[in-house]
Structure 1
Amino acid sequence: MSLRRPRKAVLMVALVVTLALLCCGGSVTLLLWNGLRNDSGDRFINASLACGKGGALDPDTALPEISPYDTGQIRNAAIIINVGADMSLPPRAWVIAVATAMQESNLNNLGHLGERNDHDSQGLFQQRPSSGWGSPKQVRDPIYASTKFYAKLKTVRGWEKMALTRAAQAVQISAYPDAYAKHEPVATQIVNLLANGAANAVGDSVTPQCAVSGAIAASGWTIPLKGPVGSGFRTASRPSHQGVDISVDKYRPIYAVASGTVSVVKCDEDFRGRKSCNVDGYPGKGGCGWMVEIVHAGNVMTRYCHLVQQPFVRRNQQVVAGEQIGRVGSSGNSSGPHLHFEVHLGNDRSSTGAVDPVQFMQGQGAPLGNEG
């Protein structure tokens, strides 16, 4: 592979500060930065988070330095993505690499920091010349450093389906192996804006397609199961409904929507304080029946209710996206077989933290509502 500067495909884009799902209304707010110049001096903004879609706009303004990342840091992210594309690695690898550099260097190409250095670590990925990553000059070259990171990632068996923190740790061998996960949500949004929605994609091609089939998106998210969305989030008829109902046959497998840690596994009590989850429930009984909660990167919690039997996972268990956690049932406050699915921001288990799962999952490239 030739070591060249970022191509137009990466630099004719813009940035997102954050994808904020507002708790009360469930609406989506995008804060866009001005675009980087391409080789012709043009400037563009990607106006969409769709998979490979979005228009090219010319705001004709200078690229500002906006916290938390300045133009140099974002250019480094663009180089990381571009190298991954040149190596024909899928967008999931780009998300892993950007998140890793966010943790290791805050997307800064660091030189030797003297007493503040971690041994002789340098560059975007804090690679150590003494450990065989290359010379100090080489590891400070963002293209070289990115190439070495991806080359090592390719040797990690099964990295494509690993939790981001496990994949990054397998490459970096960090003293803080759990530190990478917190960067996954923002890294996903950076890749989306720098690569035209690529983080909301599936497959092993650099020309992504949306995750409509239930496969795991490059963002690391997938759907809990295929099926039509029935009762929606906080509808007029059910204003206190904090999730959505996906109506499918009993015993259909339910999958974790992203890697994370199981925080709750229980038979939820009904309105009378009874724990009677091994039988079908009924409207007005109360309770979630057999239920599971999982905490994911970014402190996002997902909740799965009305399982037919005791879930297949246990509290504190680490799960990966697409891992089966149980089967559809009708236990608890239920009128028939379905999965009640919730998403909560900030691991806030109350109604305050709940957001519309349809909008949230769409933003992860794993849209709900596919027919089963």
Structure 2
Amino acid sequence: MRFRRPRKAVLVVALVVTLALLCCGGTLTVLLLNGLTNNDNDRFSNASLGCGKGGAVDPDSKLPRIRPYGAAQIRNAAIIINVGADMKLPPRAWVIAVATAMQESRLTNLGNLGSRNDHDSLGLFQQRPSTGWGTPQQVQDPVYASTKFYEKLKTIQGWENMALTEAAQAVQISAYPDAYAKHEPLATQIVNMLADGAANAVGNQIALECAAAGQIAASGWTIPLKAPVGSGFRSPERPTHQGVDLSVERYKPIQAAASGVVSLVKCDEDFRGRKTCNVDGYPGKGGCGWMVEIIHAGNVMTRYCHMVQRPFVRENQQVTAGEVIGRVGTSGNSSGPHLHFEVHLNNDRSSAGAVDPVQFMQQQGAALGNQG
């Protein structure tokens, strides 16, 4: 089927804009931006970093190979991205849409497969004409199908802060509501590769500005609070320090770094077995004080320590990215008010599962650092 360009792209050609500010690791980031206007200049600097709105990729251009998908499937992903950009939706929406199409059709424009796909489920998103998505011809048009998906997504209150699988399910009403989550990492990679890093902010000043604005990155992650990084991960001075300390004044709100399920809320015991978290701690006391652990998509666990009072969440509670879970304190093994923040892979609560939160959050487009 011939691709019909969105309205704004009809009269323009891709403009290559070289931005010296986006130089990362010696490699100059180049943005291909469709539809340059004077009103767009203020958002170009962060368009490719997942914290703004930017141009997308031309589906008719030479596209990269992204396994396990073929050329036609990657072109469909490019169309989904381009439609989202034309509708002025942020890159997080593109990731949700691409991941949904990966689950529903493997990015293939499905025809009628009979009983194998609910008889009339068609196109990239298995939209059903019988339930009002459009005519069979319409829902098999990738531009139309993508537009309808985004239109429905926009009606979901708070979709920007939802876990990907929740947002996709709210649109699709699938019989397998948890199936979308497994596609999020590759969908993010696809958006990055096709739209010049749109889903992944890097650790430069622009990324810090995005985080300082309190925005949710396209990856679905955000900073737990605005604060400089004090003591680092496994530093020479503290080789067993399994997280980073974000130094900030007492009572500052702490946010969930991504959507997930609270797996642990407790007053951590000190070295003498005491649970004394409602008083200030001190170096050598031991324990995390008031603490929370959250399990996120991909079996990633985040840990938040030294809160000033009992956390605001409970175990098994679902939380969204940016939701306030507690306040900064200095309970437990602490020399002053700060948030001790850890990231663990594979839900491994031990030191073996811990990774550097600075590097991990940078990769998610929510760079930790001196943001205020």
Q: TM-score if structure 2 supplies the norm length?
A: 0.79
Paired position in structure 1 for 2:341: 341
In 1: Cα distance, 2:274 partner to 2:111 partner: 62
Paired position in structure 2 for 1:110: 110
**SS of structure 1 residue aligned to 2:234:** coil
Cα deviation code 1:169-204 (max 9, x no counterpart): 221111222322332233222212211222246xxx
1:170 has 2:170 as partner: yes
What is the correspondence of 1:324-363 to structure 2 with a 5 Å cutoff? 324-363=324-363
1:183 has 2:183 as partner: yes
Paired position in structure 2 for 1:31: none
What is the correspondence of 1:173-212 to structure 2 with a 5 Å cutoff? 173-200=173-200, 210-212=210-212
1:296 has 2:311 as partner: no
Paired position in structure 2 for 1:20: none
Cα displacement (A) at 1:343: 0.8
- Taking a change above 3 Å as real, the CA distance of residues 329 and 64 of structure 1, as seen in their structure-2 partners, is closer
1:368 has 2:361 as partner: no
| Partner AA of 1:89 in structure 2 | L
Tell whether the 8 Å contact from 1:261 to 1:294 is kept in structure 2 after alignment. Answer: yes
**SS of structure 2 residue aligned to 1:98:** helix
In 2: Cα distance, 1:228 partner to 1:178 partner: 36
In 1: Cα distance, 2:162 partner to 2:96 partner: 10
Cα deviation code 1:255-287 (max 9, x no counterpart): 001111111111111222221111111212221
Tell whether the 8 Å contact from 2:123 to 2:145 is kept in structure 1 after alignment. Answer: yes
Cα displacement (A) at 1:227: 0.9
Cα deviation code 1:21-52 (max 9, x no counterpart): xxxxxxxxxxxxxxxxxxxxxxxxxxxx9728
In 2: Cα distance, 1:249 partner to 1:260 partner: 26
Cα displacement (A) at 1:76: 1.4
| Partner AA of 1:295 in structure 2 | I
In 2: Cα distance, 1:227 partner to 1:244 partner: 11
Paired position in structure 1 for 2:215: 215
Paired position in structure 1 for 2:30: none
Tell whether the 8 Å contact from 2:64 to 2:194 is kept in structure 1 after alignment. Answer: no
> Which is worse superposed, 345-354 or 180-189?
180-189
What is the correspondence of 1:1-372 to structure 2 with a 5 Å cutoff? 3-4=4-5, 51=49, 67-200=67-200, 210-372=210-372
Cα deviation code 1:181-238 (max 9, x no counterpart): 332233222212211222246xxxxxxx743432222222111111110110111111
In 1: Cα distance, 2:212 partner to 2:87 partner: 26
| Partner AA of 2:160 in structure 1 | E
Paired position in structure 2 for 1:43: none
Cα deviation code 1:272-308 (max 9, x no counterpart): 2221111111212221111101111121111101111
In 2: Cα distance, 1:277 partner to 1:183 partner: 40
**SS of structure 2 residue aligned to 1:199:** coil
Tell whether the 8 Å contact from 1:9 to 1:195 is kept in structure 2 after alignment. Answer: no
Tell whether the 8 Å contact from 2:64 to 2:193 is kept in structure 1 after alignment. Answer: no
In 1: Cα distance, 2:254 partner to 2:370 partner: 14
Tell whether the 8 Å contact from 1:358 to 1:367 is kept in structure 2 after alignment. Answer: yes
Paired position in structure 2 for 1:37: none
Q: Which runs of 5+ in 1 are unaligned?
A: 11-48, 53-61, 202-208
Cα deviation code 1:103-137 (max 9, x no counterpart): 21222222222332234212111111211212223
Q: Which runs of 5+ in 2 are unaligned?
A: 16-46, 51-61, 202-208
Number of equivalent positions: 323
Give the alignment's Cα RMSD to 1 decimal: 2.9
Tell whether the 8 Å contact from 1:212 to 1:366 is kept in structure 2 after alignment. Answer: no
Cα displacement (A) at 1:65: 5.8
- Taking a change above 3 Å as real, the CA distance of residues 199 and 343 of structure 1, as seen in their structure-2 partners, is same
> Which is worse superposed, 173-182 or 258-267?
173-182
Tell whether the 8 Å contact from 1:231 to 1:244 is kept in structure 2 after alignment. Answer: yes
Kindly report structure 1 stretches of 4+ aligned residues shifted beyond 3 Å. 5-10, 62-67, 209-212
Tell whether the 8 Å contact from 1:200 to 1:211 is kept in structure 2 after alignment. Answer: no
**SS of structure 1 residue aligned to 2:99:** helix
> Which is worse superposed, 78-87 or 147-156?
147-156
Paired position in structure 2 for 1:41: none
Percent pairwise identity: 79
Cα deviation code 1:299-338 (max 9, x no counterpart): 1111101111110000011111111000111111111111
Tell whether the 8 Å contact from 1:212 to 1:367 is kept in structure 2 after alignment. Answer: no
| Partner AA of 1:68 in structure 2 | P
In 1: Cα distance, 2:14 partner to 2:337 partner: 46
In 1: Cα distance, 2:14 partner to 2:63 partner: 18
Cα displacement (A) at 1:64: 7.9
